[in-house]
Amino acid sequence: MSDWRPTASLEAMRARAGLLSTVRAFFAARGVLEVDTPQLARHGVSDPHIDCIPVAGHGYLQSSPEYHMKRLLAAGSGPIYQTCKAYRNGEAGTRHNPEFTMLEWYRPGFDLDGLISECLALFGELFSNTPSRTYRFRDLFAEVTGLDPLTATDSDLIQCAEQHGAPEGLDKAAAVDYLMATRVEAALPAEQLSVVIDFPGWAAALAQTRLDTDGTEVALRFEIYFRGLELANGYQELTDADEQRRRFEQDNRLRQKHGLNTMDADPYLLDALRHGLPACSGVAIGVERLLMARLNSDRIGDVLTFPGDRA
Amino acid sequence: MASYSTSEFKSGLKVMLDGDPCAIIENEFVKPGKGQAFSRVKLRNLKTGKVWERTFKSGDSLEGADVLDVQMQYIFSDGEFWHFMDTDTFEQKQADEAAVGDAKQWLKEEDMCEVTLYNGEPLNVNPPNFVELEIVETDPGLKGDTAGTGGKPATLSTGAVIRVPLFVQEGEIAKVDTRTGEYAGRIKN
């Protein structure tokens, strides 16, 4: 007999339906338009840590609706949100499934603080009476590991990661990723919405950067953690087409260095940025993670009807 | 032997690590927001039984281990080696003491065992879950005792000592659960 039954309980399926209607009401009340963008498109993201799933003759399943939503913003959509499926090859585990649900929204005219407030307002409806606290990435990282990720030497950071079980041969950014994922996240209080801001400049992805008081580059990016889960990842968005092109090129150089296929820069996105993306902030939230936090579950399979291994 | 990348790691997969064959127990995918993904893997070293924890970068790979579990019949021991036979091909393999380990106290000639072969040689021997062995020595029990009062020790034909109820006598056949080493009944002749 095959594993034909769903892994989600009826309770979890009802929790998903309830969550989606809470989200719809939340954005309707705030005048944010629900949109729908393609999941199958010619180009995929260039981020070297994301492996897009190619579809012969079509392009890629989208790992996030970001590029298309930015094109809507550039065309003058105003504030928009959507919940959609997103796909990432090889991401499978107790908290990951190669196909998952993303809630993503963009707010023209909002700076990062404005978007963090709105995120916390939504979480307030889902997790009532949960306190929040904000940490600067470098302070939090230093408190847990004893090293400032922006000023410590590469070898100190790599050695620290290896002492805590990291594989050999990591570069500085990967060592910081390792320590963040295995030590720092684990040290955050579970019953608190922990907002982490000011990520290192090299982890900016599509966020703007600024110089910290000591001249080091930090990203205008935040993450929110709750019950040991990373729930949200937000940016004050990059709007400069030339800088976007440079990041595409930088991503592809990294991809080549690590023996990965390169990804063509998406000309539609670049043209939209050239036309003009309004100053805005945007955030992506893993809907399954939200449900896991709601149901106090530690397995993504509890909130998916059929996870990848039985879909 | 094929090699396996982290995305193929799953429970039960046999791989080589630090020169030893290992079985993957679990594989946890770890990824910070945006950035390098890792696999945190628990493996059992099939030679020593020890559990190892290792972290790999996503996309790293390990060589597969030539490890195979086969059903073989125990034939005899010459004191140094324990001999097993594949009942289909009649091919024989000899397992040394390290491979036989604790299983040796439960091995009865002609019983079928699960033998783990590594590069074709026995690495580990699992006895059947239940074996039937003759009691060769035990004190005479008290008449009328039917249920456990802690029981008494009994030596089996293989040399293993187990606890049996007081009414069980020398010459009888005891059924033993090899996973716990406990008495599980007697076989009426």
Q: What is the pLDDT of residue A1?
A: 76
CA angle B17, B19, B20 (to 5 degrees): 70
- From first CA to last CA, the distance across chain B in angstroms is 50
CATH annotation of A10-131+206-310 = 3.30.930.10
Q: Which residues neighbour A29 within 8 Å (Cβ) at sequence distance 6 or greater?
A: none
Q: Give the three-class secondary structure for B47.
A: coil
Residue A104: which of A62, A149, A136 has the closest Cα? A62
Interface membership of A310 toward B (CB under 8 Å): no
Instruction: Give the model confidence (pLDDT) of A230-278 as tens digits.
Output: 999 999 999 999 999 999 999 999 999 988 999 999 999 999 999 999 9
Confidence of residue A286 (pLDDT cuts 50, 70, 90): very high
CA atoms within 13 A on the CB side of A114: 13
Q: Which of residues 99-128 of A touch B (CB under 8 A)?
A: none
B38 interaction partners in chain A (CB closer than 8 Å): 166-167, 178, 181-182
> How many residues comprise chain A?
311
Q: Which of the given ranges, B93-97, B98-102, B165-169, has the highest pLDDT on average?
A: B93-97
Rounded to an integer, the average pLDDT of A147-167 is 95
Distance between first and last Cα of chain A: 15
A274 to each of A68, A111, A241, A243, A270, how far by Cα in Å? 15, 21, 5, 11, 6
Q: Spell out the alpha helix ranges (H) of A83-210.
A: 112-126, 137-145, 154-163, 172-179, 185-187
Q: What is the pLDDT of residue B19?
A: 93
Helical residues (DSSP H) of chain A, grouped into ranges? 10-29, 66-74, 112-126, 137-145, 154-163, 172-179, 185-187, 241-257, 267-276, 287-295
CB contacts, 8 Å: B60 with chain A = 167
pLDDT, mean of residues B69-91: 94
pLDDT of B35 reads: 86
Q: Which residue does chain B place closest to A233, by CA atoms?
A: B33
Q: Average pLDDT for residues A298-302, to the nearest whole number? A: 95
Q: What is the pLDDT of residue B142?
A: 62
Domain residue ranges in chain A: 10-131+206-310, 133-190
Nearest-CB residue to A181 (from B30, B54, B60): B30
Closest A-chain CA to B31: A181
How far apart CA A158 and CA A155 sit, in angstroms, is 5
* Complex-level ipTM: 0.82
CB spacing of B37 vs A174 below 8 angstroms: no
Min distance B167 CA to chain A CA atoms (Å): 45
pLDDT above 80 for A147: yes
Of B34, B38, B57, nearest to A205 by CB-CB distance is: B34
pLDDT for the residue B1: 73
d(CA B48, CA B11): 18
B38 to chain A, closest Cα gap in Å: 8
Q: What CA–CA distance (Å, rounded) separates A89 from A186?
A: 25
Instruction: Look at residue A23 and tell me whether its pLDDT is greater than 60.
Output: yes
Residues of chain B in contact with residue A94, where contact means CB-CB under 8 angstroms, are 28-29
- How far B88 CA sits from the closest chain A CA (Å)? 29
Average pLDDT, chain A: 95
Q: What is the pTM of this model?
A: 0.81
Residue B59's pLDDT is 86
pLDDT for B189 beyond 70: no
* Of residues B31, B56, B60, nearest to A96 (C-beta): B31
Alpha-carbon A301 to chain mean position = 20
If you measure CA to CA, which chain A residue comes closest to B56? A167
User: Over the stretch B177-186, which tens digit does the pLDDT of each residue have?
Assistant: 999 999 999 9
A31: left (phi over 0), alpha (psi -120 to 50) or beta: left
> How far lies A288's CA from each of A293, B45, B80, B83, B174, in Å?
9, 35, 58, 54, 54
Q: CA–CA separation, B83 vs B73, rounded Å?
A: 9
Q: How far is CA A224 from the centre of its chain?
A: 10
pLDDT at A252: 95
Q: Mind telling me how many Å the CA of A187 is from chain B's nearest CA?
A: 14
Among B31, B40, B56, the strongest candidate for a mutation testing the A interface, having the largest count of A CBs within 10 A, is: B31
Rounded Cα distance between A38 and A55, Å, is: 13
Asked if A225 has any chain B CB less than 8 Å from its own CB, the reply is no
Q: What is the pLDDT of residue B150?
A: 73
Residue of chain A minimizing CA distance to B5: A90
d(C-alpha A291, C-alpha A14), whole Å: 10
List chain A residues with CB under 8 Å of B6.
90
What residues pair up with A221 in beta bridges, in sequence order? A235
Tell me the three state secondary structure of residue A290.
Answer: helix
**Residue A3 reports pLDDT greater than 70:** yes
Give pLDDT, residue A189. Answer: 96
Question: Does residue A50 or residue A2 have the better pLDDT?
Answer: A50
Question: Are the beta carbons of B57 and A169 separated by less than 8 Å?
Answer: yes
Element housing B100 (H / E): helix B97-100
Query: Among residues 265-294 of chain A, which lie with CB inside 8 Å of chain B?
Result: none
pLDDT in tens, B119-160: 999 999 999 999 999 999 998 866 555 555 678 999 999 999
Q: What is the mean pLDDT of chain B?
A: 90
pLDDT tens-digit map of A47-94: 999 999 999 999 999 999 999 999 999 999 999 999 999 999 989 889
Q: What is the DSSP string of B105-134?
A: GG--TT-EEEEEEETTEEEEEE--SEEEEE
Cα distance between residue A221 and residue A251, in whole Å: 18
| Per-residue pLDDT at B141 | 67
CA A218 to each of CA A183, A208, A303, B66: distance values in angstroms, whole numbers, following the listed order:
21, 9, 35, 49
Tokens read off for A6: 């769903």
Instruction: Name the burial class of residue A211, with classes exposed (0-12), middle (13-18) and buried (19+) by CB atoms within 10 angstroms of its CB.
Output: exposed
Q: Which of A168, A178, A184, A299 to mutate to test the interface with B (most CBs of B within 10 A)?
A: A178
Does residue A90 belong to the interface with chain B, where contact is any CB pair within 8 Å?
A: yes
pLDDT reported for residue A62: 98
From B114's Cα to the closest Cα of chain A, the distance in A is 25
Tell me, what's the pLDDT at B145? Answer: 55
- Amino acid identity of residue A167, one-letter, is P
Q: How far is B155 from chain A (nearest CA, A)?
A: 44
Position with higher pLDDT, B10 vs A154: A154
Contact A178 B38 (CB under 8 A): yes
The span from the CA of B128 to the CA of B177, in Å, is 9
DSSP A167: P
